[in-house]
Structure 1
Amino acid sequence: GHPMPAEYLDQATALARDHGLAVHLDGARVFNAAVAAAGDPFTALRGIVDRFDSVSVCFSKGLGAPVGSALCGSKDLIRRALRWRKMLGGGLRQSGLLAAAAHHALDHHIHRLADDHALAQRLAQGLAGIDGLAVRSAQTNIVFVDVANGRGPDLLAHLARDGVLATGLIGLRFVTHLDVDTAGIDRAIASTRAFFAQGATAVSTRPAGSAVY
């Protein structure tokens, strides 16, 4: 949930090049990092990826496409990558529908990542101050929460009964995305507060007919 500082990226890529190494960026959430930066996200994105020889981007994480990633690089690198993909049997036929969904996500879902970041801030602020929780700062759409006294598994089970899905055991991980709204965030906060207020036997705060996210 924390974008790498520009100074770190500069130092890491410079070190690699000093040793004659190419540098690849796993950019699964690079769009989130760009939106979290000040100013125009596309300018920020260019500033991030220009340091690297190749970059992979994900169309499902954050952007919300059903599936798909892409490898970005120079024309020569992509030409060689396509050859290796064919040699290793990595081609995918009739993938136009998936590509169309990825194009839609690129056209419509980048700027809205700011909404996910705002919801993550709302969640972090709502969980802050609960005795037994330590909330780490949220800079993008991921909130990490440390749970005291080994109660993480019980909290996970309680949240799941209220239709709130998180991952982890001692340290829990919450991720906001385009299927999460303000009501869902408030439900997550209320459920967590109920758990710590009433103990592991806290009653469900899930309203009838609400959806799991």
Structure 2
Amino acid sequence: CWPADLLAGVAAAATGAGLPLHLDGARLWNAAVAAGVSEAALCAPFVTASVCFSKGLGAPVGSALVGPRPLIEAAHRLRKRWGGGMRQVGILAAGARHALDHHRGRLADDHAHARALAAAVAGAPGVQLDLATVETNIVRFDVPGLAATAVVEAARERGVLLSAFGPHTLRAVLHLDVSGAEARQAGERLAEAVAQLGRAGDRP
């Protein structure tokens, strides 16, 4: 999460240059929990923001654009004009509403599970992971000398899914379908995968 003073400085510079700011708030809910502030406080420097109901909150699908009423009304017309209209979306809205009402309060659990996974991975030989960087439900770590894609495949064979985020960088994202015990087990299996690849000399 960006420090508040840094964000305020960027916002002031943009405003001074006459540039309206938009927030890509796909993970706004998690950021608010991690920072200990409201979503409104994080959005305050921006003119508009988009929020996602599936990432973090776990709704099946759905995003929303928020901002001044005249701008949202104009965006609504443009969405229809460009073919973005949908019909019978009440069931999707219901899923988003359920996520807002029932899943926001447990986001801190995902953050704790991410730290548990990170702690298990950080102790593995060949892994570079600063535990202080695990602030939300996302864990990023490096495996210098190993191909990230090889780690992804080795982890998949052990029942753990994560993404290559660069030649030697990986990312794991925790969510409401992963328990604390499963997160710790996933971290242990990831550590095993990295250690095995290191012993086998699986270099890029």
Q: Shared fold by TM > 0.5? A: yes
Q: Is the 8 A contact 2:125 2:195 kept in 1?
A: no
Q: Which moved more, 1:57-66 or 1:178-187?
A: 178-187
More helix by percentage: 2
Distance 1:201 1:147, change over 3 A: closer
Per the alignment, residue 22 of structure 1 pairs with: 20
Q: Which runs of 5+ in 1 are unaligned?
A: 203-213
One of 173, 178, 182 as aligned partner of 1:175:
173
- Residue type matched to 1:153 in 2? T
Give the structure 2 partner of residue 142 of structure 1: 138
Alpha-carbon distance change, 20 to 193 in structure 1, aligned in 2, over 3 angstroms: closer
SS where residue 174 of structure 1 aligns? strand
User: Which residue pairs with 1:159 in the alignment?
Assistant: 155
Instruction: After superposition, give the CA deviation of every residue in 1:159-199 in whole Å (9 maximum; x if it has no partner).
Output: 10111111014100000001111232122222123234444
Identity %: 47
Which residue in the other structure is 2:77 paired with?
83
Compared with structure 1, are the counterparts of its residues 158 and 81 closer, same or farther at alpha carbon in structure 2 (3 Å cutoff)? same
1:38-57, aligned counterparts within 5 Å? 38=36, 41=37, 44-57=38-51
Unaligned runs of 5+ in 2: none
What is the CA–CA distance in structure 2 between the aligned matches of 1:197 and 1:26, rounded to whole Å? 37
- The match for 1:124 is 118
Secondary structure class of the residue paired with 1:127: helix
**2:106 aligned to which of 99, 109, 112:** 112
Q: Specify the SS of the correspondent of 1:90.
A: coil
Alpha-carbon separation, structure 1, partners of 2:146 and 2:4: 36
Equivalent pairs, count:
196
Q: CA deviation digits over 1:87-120, x for unaligned, max 9?
A: 1111111100000000001111111110000001
Listed one character per residue, the Cα deviations across residues 24-69 of structure 1 (whole Å, up to 9, x for unaligned) are 000000110101123xx5xx21111111100100000000000000
After TM superposition, where is structure 1 displaced by more than 6 Å over at least 4 residues in a row? none
With normalisation by structure 1, the TM-score equals 0.87
Normalising by structure 2, we get a TM-score of: 0.90
Q: Conserved in 1, the CA contact under 8 Å of 2:124 and 2:195?
A: no
What's the RMSD between the two structures over aligned residues? 1.6
